[in-house]
Amino acid sequence: MSTDNSGRAILFFFVKFCLLAPLCLVAWWLLLPYYGWLIGQASGVVLLHVARTPITSMTIEPAGPLNTETLLVYGVEGVKRRFPIGLLVTNVAPYIALILSTAHLGWVRRLKILLLGIAVLSLGHIVYIVLAFSFFQRIAMSREIPTALAQLFLTAPFLLWIILAYWDRLSAYFAAPAAQKDE
């Protein structure tokens, strides 16, 4: 592939991503209360049965522009515990935009990669909520923990995109030097 074609492909990807990312964000934020309810239920099951937290209720409070300040609210022994999840779960939208912008993927593979990546991100959201709920007092004393986790959640869509969309190319690239050494 020539450098000129590579440059065009990168530019075309960038333009597609810049067009799709805002659309995916708006769509995701509009769906956020429903997704929040799903991960709230899943997190609640783990908290109730594994962490033995006496959760009596779970609700979602949509808030902010386009639901960006949505709260997950658990009732525990008559006390409402609120967790802001709006920005926590927003990393799904750029992941979707990245996968939709990637040129070399067929539709079946694209769908598989989308579903697998969203499942991984969702599992991360659930684990974060369970840990944040279980250890909120310790975390409140150590501000570096939420900062580190925020950095992980910000980069996760890009790491997943590189690994899932380009795994075949990455493995071939790293296998080539090893095969040359064997000769």
Q: What percent of the chain has pLDDT over 70?
A: 93
Please give the structure tokens belonging to residue 51. Answer: 């962490």
Q: What is the pLDDT of residues 102-155, one digit of tens each?
A: 988 889 999 999 999 999 999 999 999 998 888 877 777 777 877 788 788 889
Instruction: Let me know how many helices (H) and strands (E) the chain has, helices first.
Output: 5, 3
Q: Where are the beta strands (DSSP E) in 42-78?
A: 55-61, 71-76
The pLDDT score that the predictor gives to residue 159 is: 93
d(CA 72, CA 83): 5
The pLDDT score that the predictor gives to residue 16 is: 96
Q: Are 84 and 69 in contact (CB under 8 A)?
A: yes
Q: What is the pLDDT of residues 25-43, one digit of tens each?
A: 999 999 999 999 999 999 9
Residue 67 pLDDT > 50, yes or no?
yes
**pTM for the model:** 0.86
115: exposed, middle or buried (Cβ count in 10 Å: 0-12, 13-18, 19+): exposed
